[in-house]
Chains A and B, each alone.
Chain A
């Protein structure tokens, strides 16, 4: 089953670079994953986050408040 990865963030520069990082990591590992951006605040606040950008993998918050590195995301995916 494909992983569900969500990037939470209202469209700021840091959120965009997080999206790019995750996309790159998924491409490099070849994992099946649906990457979605959650940009509306109501959708975002369903998760218990305090700062954006945040990365949610299978409904679990993995990273919040910073732009992760590609390596970090790769580790999360394995």
Chain B
């Protein structure tokens, strides 16, 4: 799919700029040109695609979907699935949580949505696709959905409602009638400007991170010998996955800057499963999000939430390393 781009990068670096091939500088620059352009193309495709689906299934509609019909256990899947296409900003986590629970959606299903929404987002999917190929990306997306379902179900079974903070309990007690969801009746053409604007603003928001990430990745690609990390972080080291995840949990970052570096780490010998688990922990949980959730959850509930999600991510890291 991207052969033409590789030809372009080769031509630019070796013919136009007249840099020796092979050379460390040439390798690094070639990597930078090829990967940046590829990621930006995929990013536009994925954000437009997800934006289009999201335009037809906005979060209010998902909520009325989940409250109005009986799903007989499929709700965990529905919540996790729609979580993946809903763009997420950690500052929305509280309104979302309260809005779902107030609408009568069980806590566990709300959690499933809350976990899958940041875990599988357009930016992560696009960069994964660009860096690791379509197969790995599908594995990431599917396992992200399964992980959210399992973590949500586990949290749901724990009956954590009494551990919500008082003002939230008060809010839930006075259930107000939720206004009926009004679907926007716009044609596809009428939706395009909003979808394109949103996609552009997402791409713009992460572009600097991508440039820096790919630049660092390019340097490492050119200057670090292949297999360099194998000695330190190998599949046989059982502590590598939990360590990577625990380092990733407090980090607040989008995957934009991290994944290009990760790809090089994989090339230099770090197992892919460990990298996937690390990325999951970076996007799914962060200190700023924990601080926001602290307003609706008591410390005990927050700790349980963080622990369940962390354990699920560590387990999936092991599973990835086993199957990949």
Residues of A within 8 A of B (CB): 9-15, 41-42, 44-45, 48-52, 65-67, 69
Q: Once the chains bind, are B95 and A44 in contact (CB under 8 Å)?
A: yes
Closest B residue to A44 by beta carbon equals B95
* Proximity bits, B160-202, A CB within 8 Å = 1, else 0: 0000000100010000101100000000000000100110010
Q: Once the chains bind, are B95 and A51 in contact (CB under 8 Å)?
A: yes
Name the distance in Å between B104's Cβ and chain A's nearest Cβ.
14
Q: For residue A9, which residues in chain B have a CB less than 8 angstroms away from its CB?
A: 91
Q: Once the chains bind, are A50 and B59 in contact (CB under 8 Å)?
A: yes
Q: Once the chains bind, are B63 and A42 in contact (CB under 8 Å)?
A: no
- Sample 14 A-B pairs with CB under 8 A, ordered by A number: A10-B91, A10-B292, A14-B89, A41-B292, A41-B296, A42-B167, A44-B95, A48-B178, A48-B179, A49-B99, A50-B95, A50-B100, A51-B59, A52-B95
How far does the alpha carbon of A14 sit from the alpha carbon of B198 in the complex, in Å? 11
Closest A residue to B178 by beta carbon equals A48
Q: Once the chains bind, are B59 and A52 in contact (CB under 8 Å)?
A: no
Flag whether B60 is at the interface (Cβ < 8 A).
yes
**How many chain B residues have a CB neighbour from A under 8 Å?**
27
How far does the alpha carbon of A12 sit from the alpha carbon of B285 in the complex, in Å? 17
Q: Once the chains bind, are A52 and B60 in contact (CB under 8 Å)?
A: no
How far does the alpha carbon of A65 sit from the alpha carbon of B197 in the complex, in Å? 14
Q: Once the chains bind, are B96 and A41 in contact (CB under 8 Å)?
A: no
Q: For residue A50, which residues in chain B have a CB less than 8 angstroms away from its CB?
A: 59-60, 63, 92, 95-96, 99-100
Q: For residue A11, which residues in chain B have a CB less than 8 angstroms away from its CB?
A: 91
Q: For residue B167, which residues in chain A have a CB less than 8 angstroms away from its CB?
A: 42
Name the distance in Å between A77's Cβ and chain B's nearest Cβ.
19
Residues of B within 8 A of A (CB): 58-60, 63, 89-92, 94-96, 98-100, 167, 171, 176, 178-179, 194, 197-198, 201, 205, 292, 295-296
Question: Which of A12, A15, A45, A66 is within 8 Å of B98, CB to CB?
Answer: A45
How far does the alpha carbon of A63 sit from the alpha carbon of B236 in the complex, in Å? 52
Closest A residue to B168 by beta carbon equals A45
Q: Once the chains bind, are A52 and B89 in contact (CB under 8 Å)?
A: yes
Q: Which 9 residue pairs are nearest across A and B when measured between Cβ atoms? A: A12-B91, A50-B99, A51-B92, A10-B91, A50-B59, A52-B92, A49-B95, A41-B94, A41-B295
Name the distance in Å between A44's Cβ and chain B's nearest Cβ.
6
Q: Once the chains bind, are B92 and A45 in contact (CB under 8 Å)?
A: no
Q: For residue B58, which residues in chain A have a CB less than 8 angstroms away from its CB?
A: 65
Question: Which of B59, B63, B94, B205 is within 8 Å of A65, CB to CB?
Answer: B59
How far does the alpha carbon of A48 sit from the alpha carbon of B179 in the complex, in Å? 8
Sample of 13 further A-B pairs with CB below 8 A, known A12-B90, A44-B94: A10-B91, A10-B292, A12-B91, A14-B89, A15-B91, A41-B295, A41-B296, A48-B176, A50-B92, A50-B100, A51-B89, A52-B95, A65-B92
Name the distance in Å between A6's Cβ and chain B's nearest Cβ.
14
Report if A52-B171 is in contact (Cβ < 8 Å); known contacts: A65-B59, A69-B197: no
Q: For residue B201, which residues in chain A have a CB less than 8 angstroms away from its CB?
A: 67
